[in-house]
Amino acid sequence: MKTTKTIAAVFLFVATFNACKKDTQPEPELAKPTIDNIEIGLGNNQIGVIGKDFHLNAEILAGDKIENVQVKILPRSGETYTKPWEFEITWDQYKDAKNATVHKHFDIPEDAAEGKYDFIIIVNDQNGTTLEEKREINIYKAENLPVNPTLLQLNIQTNGSFFYRDGKFAVEGANLSKNNEFSSQTTIDGVKGDGKMYLLLINKKLGHRPENIDQIDMDKVIVYDVYEHKGWEKVGSFSNAVFDAATFTWTRKIPSLIVGAVKDNNNPQPGLINGDKIWESGTYYFGVVYKNTTYNMSYFQYIEVPVEIN
């Protein structure tokens, strides 16, 4: 009888021990979102301009599924500002997605104060976890930027006559036709130091519209022109056509490209126009992509032009 009671006591102890052990085991850790390929500001320059467009790009992978994505711009400890200001925006469009490319443009509000801020990307997951990625940005008034690249001129000529000028087409419905001599004078204002400009033709169907030089895929673009400036001490206008008023001569003439040509005008090595970028009838982007390498400031602008190759 004593043995039976002893065995029962042992079983009771083991059962109680196992139950306690199960109660104290930690819950499995939930998977958290991850983030990659972050660009904060155009060309990832971490610069915002009051009242102007601001660029954000990030690749997000949820632990479970995305609930929402937020951005907060908050004052930094130790910094002084002319007035209290902070900013928050939430995007719900990514809800229920496992992964998403967050490519956003939004304006820095007119009431923002200049200074250095914490830029925080927040990813809220439906499993209850949260990811926060913090970076530093500088917010300027436009007049206080070290450089401020803006488009001063973008003209297109075909066979010596204007095709596009002053923001409009010379003849509505006209197209770039095979064997046309294509040329463009493009001018960027508000630059100094070192910078480089690409002028590109890109078939719209390729879905490639680079916003800075580092994004250009040479397998998808036809380079009409590439030109750079170096060591400019004063802010000025940078054009791909340079006229010397003192000698009344062109020191750099506007280049030309035949629509349907076998090679483009990439410098120093012209590229074959084949593969994905082969000439086709359809809508093309024509645009300028500029980067000031001294001040890490970028600019881009595109228009759409019809092309007829048949």
Residues 127 and 212 in one domain: no
Number of domains the chain is built from: 2
Q: Are residues 167 and 290 in the same domain?
A: yes
Nearest one of 215, 194, 189, 225 to 296, comparing CA atoms: 194
Query: What's the CATH number where 131 sits?
Result: 2.60.40.1930
Residue of 256, 180, 178 whose CA lies nearest to 224: 256
Instruction: Check whether residue 214 and residue 89 sit in a common domain.
Output: no
Asked if 244 and 114 sit in the same domain, the reply is no
Is 294 found in the same domain as 243? yes
Number of C-alpha atoms within 13 angstroms, CB side, residue 90?
Answer: 6
The Cα 49–Cα 239 span in angstroms is 24
131 found inside a domain: yes
CA 110/CA 56 separation, integer angstroms: 19
Q: Which domain holds residue 210?
A: 150-308
pTM for the structure as a whole: 0.81
One digit per residue, the tens of pLDDT, for the chain of length 310 reads 555 555 555 555 555 556 555 556 677 788 999 999 999 999 899 999 999 999 999 999 999 999 999 999 999 999 999 999 999 999 999 999 999 999 999 999 999 999 999 999 999 999 999 999 999 999 999 999 999 999 999 999 999 999 999 899 999 889 999 999 999 999 999 999 999 999 999 999 999 999 999 999 999 999 999 999 999 999 999 999 998 888 888 889 999 999 999 999 999 999 999 999 999 999 999 999 999 999 999 999 999 999 999 8
Is 256 a domain residue? yes
Domain boundary among 143, 162, 189: 143
Position 1 in a domain: no
Domain with 154 in it: what CATH number?
A: 2.60.40.3880
User: Based on the domain organization, do 191 and 134 belong to the same domain?
Assistant: no
Q: Is 204 part of any domain?
A: yes
